[in-house]
Structure 1
Amino acid sequence: MDLSRYQAEGPYPEMENRCPNPKALTMLYPLYAGAASELSAIHQYTYQRLLCCPDEVTETLGGIAAVEMHHLMMLGRLIRSFGGDPRFCQPSRRRWWDGGMVCYENRLCKLLLKDLSDEHNAVTAYLYTAQRIGHPCAAALLRRIAKDEEHHIILLTKLINQFCRKG
Structure 2
Amino acid sequence: MLSRQPGRPDNAPRYAAPEPYPSIQVCGPNKKYAQMLKIDLACPQSELTAVTQYVYQSWQLDPKLSQVSNTMRHVAMVEMHHLDMLGQLIVLLGGNPTFSCRQQGRQIIWDGGMVTYCHDSLAQMMKENIAAEEFAIETYQRQIKCIDDPNIVAILQRIILDEKVHLEIFHQYLAEAQC
Query: What number of residue pairs does the alignment pair up?
Result: 164
Listed as ranges, the gaps of 5+ residues in structure 2 are 1-7
Per-residue CA deviations over 1:85-130 (Å, capped at 9, x if unaligned) read 1111115632211111110011211011110111111111111111
Offset at residue 136 of structure 1 (A): 0.8
Please point out which of 86, 97, 100 is paired with 1:89.
100
Structure-2-length-normalised TM-score: 0.86
Is the aligned partner of 1:74 residue 2:71? Answer: no
Root mean square deviation of aligned Cα: 1.8
Deviation of 1:18 (Å): 4.5
Q: Pick which of 84-93 and 134-143 moved more.
A: 84-93
Q: In 1, distance between residues paired with 2:158 and 2:38?
A: 18
* 121, 126, 136: which one aligns with 2:150: 136
Q: What aligned pairs does 1:15-164 form with structure 2 within 5 A after superposition?
A: 15-52=24-61, 53-90=64-101, 93-106=106-119, 107-162=121-176, 164=177
Residues in 1 aligned to 2:37 and 2:26: alpha-carbon distance in whole angstroms:
16
1 CA distance for matches of 2:86 and 2:28?
15
Residue identity matched to 1:58? S
Equivalent position SS for 1:103: coil
Indicate if the aligned counterparts of 1:38 and 1:71 stay in contact, CA closer than 8 A: yes
What is the SS of the residue equivalent to 2:24?
coil
